[in-house]
Amino acid sequence: MIGVSVLGYGNIGSGVAQILRENADCIKKSAGEDVTVLHVCDLREFPGDPCEAILTHDASEAIHDPAVQIVVETMGGVHPAYEFVKDALTSGRHVATSNKELVAACGTELIALAKEKHVNFFFEASVGGGIPIIRPLTSSIVSDHVRRIEGILNGTTNYMLFRMQESSLSFEAALKEAQDLGFAERNPAADIEGADACRKIAILCSLAFGQPLAYTRVPTEGITGVTPEDFVYAEKMGCTVKLLATGRQTEDGVSVRVAPVLLPLSHPLAGIRGVTNAVLVEGDMCGTLTFTGAGAGKLPTASAVCADIVEAVRHPQTTVIRGWEGEELPLADAGEETHSFFVRLADIVEMSAFAEYAEQVFAGVIEGEAACVTAPLTEEAFAALCKEAPVISYLRVA
């Protein structure tokens, strides 16, 4: 029998316990052994819950019970999750986590520690919820040089943009609807300002390119400036607006960014609707692969954690995840990156600053303003042009 302790009995932690309990036969068949939750650790009480009898408030008890071989961390945040996970790995126990903040901030150290102790630090659920993307990057695409990885990595913002397009909702109305439906937190800053997607693309780039990328180095913009009017122009251009997280290899280093973009409807990620997430991986041999599924939610995310538990049971003394190591990824100069830009201006007269670079001009689409799509410009050159004209808003064009 394999003993499991779950640290953090919220949405995901309770989902892990539920799956291990209700799908015990399926998990035994996959893992080759019975897998049982022996401890649930949380500061709260859960009267009447199926795990009430195994609840503890002492993380050390849950981690160091000799019958426990696998520790699941679903607490969220960096501290004290980092200290508990480090303790578990140091004591020779496998760890499976859904905590993207922890992986993005401390993954390099924890992966190295797991390797040193001949155990595993698994984090499939930290990116894309129930979408299997970490394991394919570390086991299925290992013969390729990954050239590009990009994704819709935040279900809250994807739902909001979808509703702004579908029903012409304002940003504020779309956010309220997402909160009312439970898709957005009461404090939605991490989602709408791009921080959640930033951490996830940092993890994916670290895996895809084999070296650590600190999420603090990723240029990040959220969707707070996107308006229903942007979708009016997008429709005329055969595009939609998506919050896209991208990392790609260039001659000057890895180009990485999180930002809302105009995405052609022909793009594989343009049709991703609602709270769904999707990740596109381009390898030099496998070509382009797209992974799509539930990016969040109790059971889809918990299912990914349980898959990590099964993988740990199958490899009791072998570190199987490749992870990343070495120096920080060299990044291309963000200011020298080149894009076409969609720009909205106060009126057609103000277009003069962009006249030399405008490849497509829109006048009269929305009363009182004009817009254009520029030829490819560097970020620095575009920023300089914006200082010469009253720009209402802008979007990069994918």
Tokens read off for 219: 């240029």
Task: Output phi, psi for 308, to 5 deg.
Answer: -65, -40
Pairing state of beta strands 370-374 and 276-283? unpaired
Task: Output phi, psi for 208, to 5 deg.
Answer: -65, -35
Encoded amino acid at 197, one letter: A
Which secondary-structure segment (H or E) carries 88?
Answer: helix 81-90
d(CA 113, CA 192): 34
Are 203 and 100 in contact by the 8 Å Cβ rule? The answer is yes
d(CA 232, CA 213): 36
Tell me which of 86, 200, 236, 387 is the catalytic residue: 200
Could you confirm whether 86 is annotated as catalytic?
no
d(CA 336, CA 325): 27
Tokens read off for 378: 């560097």
Are 98 and 304 in contact by the 8 Å Cβ rule? The answer is yes
Three-class secondary structure of residue 394 per DSSP? strand
Which residues does the annotation mark as catalytic? 200
